[in-house]
Amino acid sequence: MALPMRTSGAGVELIKSFEGFRARATRLPDGNWIVGFGHTAGAREGLRVTRADAELVLRHHDLAPIEEMIRERVLTPLTQNEFDALVSFAFNIGTDAFLESNVLALLNSGERLQAAEGMTAWRKGRVDGEVRVVDALVRRRAAEKALFLEHPSGRIPVPGALMRPQFDPGAALAVSRERAVVIEARTEDGRTSAAPLIPGADTAPQAAARAVAERMTRLLGEQQAANTLQDTSETGVPTADEITRAVSALAEPDGPGEDRPDETVIEARQVQMAHSPAAAPVLRQTTPEIPEPRREILRPPALPPSRGNGLNGDISVMRWLPYALLSGLGLWGIFEGVRRTAAPTVQRFPDSEGEAFVGPLLAFGSVLLSVLAIYYLYRAITRQD
């Protein structure tokens, strides 16, 4: 008789790496206590454990019910790697959540790849009172998914030259663009909060801009030394110092700090790149001196004249007069329909059975005529030739 499957050493190490070790019991926000590798059942105030004892508690106490639940509820045969990944996944999200998740349903239906993809959805947690994508949970789901998909016989070699991967737009659309938050565990009070920004640390755009600035500085180093020996009184040709300062300004958190010119005026320089001192210093010795480039002021094009209501313009009378007449006719029809509807029954013709419906129909049709006529009248008046 085969022994029941248990979590292997690799699975235990995976769980230990993401749960973390606490030698002293720490109080959780809900009032409970946690100690060792995520142990909560017997944790209490003042309890201390060693790393070896905490691992024994994890293997033989905390993981035992999780393993029993997976053996009973997962109907499809599992490899050791799949079993270890499911134990880590269920231990993290809880048994109730695992039993209600689509991971178990997909796994029992034989959809192993879809079940592995279903683990990715469990990557959010409550941090500082908000439900956010947590960086540590994203990494744990990736590790569990990789372990789940690892074949016991080893990886199947599929070189790119033999089978070149193709882009899957469906998988790309499923990727969320929500930014993950990096958390830090405060072992003193057991709370989790977003890691504070390090003072002076660069954000991703600023770090990229600084890298570009450093590379530009290295590339322009030799050109900068050559430019200092030439006449730099020529305006319109930027020097290496100017280029370096302009690129370095991108890395500043609040911009370059200089007074910005008026947004309505753009200063342009007519620069002849073929005769710049940095591009062709040899050609400047054989070509005639280039006059100082002319400086222009480029202004945004003037906005088109605002479209008026057309009442004071030259508007053809025949353009709007028919719609005005139809509007008046519609208003008269509304008045007449209301009058016929509200008229006493004695004033109606007794021989006409449909006389009672003439008034409402006339009023309704006149309302439609008036709305259409007024709309086209407005368009005719505001039309600009």
pLDDT for the residue 352:
53
Are 40 and 118 in the same domain?
A: yes
pLDDT for the residue 275:
43
385 residues of the chain, pLDDT tens digit each: 567 899 999 999 999 999 999 999 999 888 899 999 999 988 899 999 999 999 999 999 999 999 999 999 999 999 999 999 999 999 999 999 999 999 999 999 999 999 999 999 999 998 888 899 999 999 999 999 999 999 888 888 888 888 888 887 877 666 666 777 776 655 445 555 566 656 566 666 677 777 777 777 777 775 665 565 555 444 555 666 666 666 565 555 444 444 444 443 334 444 444 444 444 443 344 444 555 545 444 444 454 444 444 444 444 666 778 878 888 888 888 888 888 877 755 455 555 555 667 778 888 888 888 888 888 877 777 764 4
Is residue 182 assigned to a domain? yes
Are 208 and 139 in the same domain?
A: no
Is residue 282 assigned to a domain? no
Are 358 and 247 in the same domain?
A: no
Are 184 and 219 in the same domain?
A: no
For the question of residue 19 being annotated catalytic, the response is yes
Are 122 and 205 in the same domain?
A: no
Are 57 and 183 in the same domain?
A: yes
pLDDT for the residue 252:
52
Give dist(CA 217, CA 227) in Å, integer.
Answer: 14
Options 13, 19, 72, 355, the catalytic residue? 19
Contact yes or no for 83/7 (Cβ under 8 A): yes
Contact yes or no for 119/103 (Cβ under 8 A): yes
CATH of the domain at 75: 1.10.530.40
Are 80 and 183 in the same domain?
A: yes
Which backbone phi and psi does 184 adopt, to 5 degrees? -130, 135
Is residue 278 assigned to a domain? no
Are 131 and 207 in the same domain?
A: no
Is residue 21 assigned to a domain? yes
User: Domain total for the chain?
Assistant: 3
Give dist(CA 58, CA 68) in Å, integer.
Answer: 14
pLDDT for the residue 263:
41
pLDDT for the residue 222:
59
Is residue 233 assigned to a domain? no
Both tokens assigned to 288: 């005639």
Are 185 and 211 in the same domain?
A: no
Are 95 and 33 in the same domain?
A: yes
Contact yes or no for 70/83 (Cβ under 8 A): yes
Is residue 203 assigned to a domain? yes
Q: What kind and span of H or E run contains 194? A: strand 192-194
Is residue 290 assigned to a domain? no
pLDDT for the residue 280:
40
pLDDT for the residue 294:
53
Is residue 286 assigned to a domain? no
Domain carrying residue 123: 9-153+177-194
Are 55 and 92 in the same domain?
A: yes
Are 113 and 219 in the same domain?
A: no
pLDDT for the residue 273:
42
Here the contacts of 76-79 (C-beta below 8 Å, separation 24 or greater) are 76/107, 76/108, 76/110, 76/112, 78/5, 79/151, 79/152
Give dist(CA 48, CA 42) in Å, integer.
Answer: 11
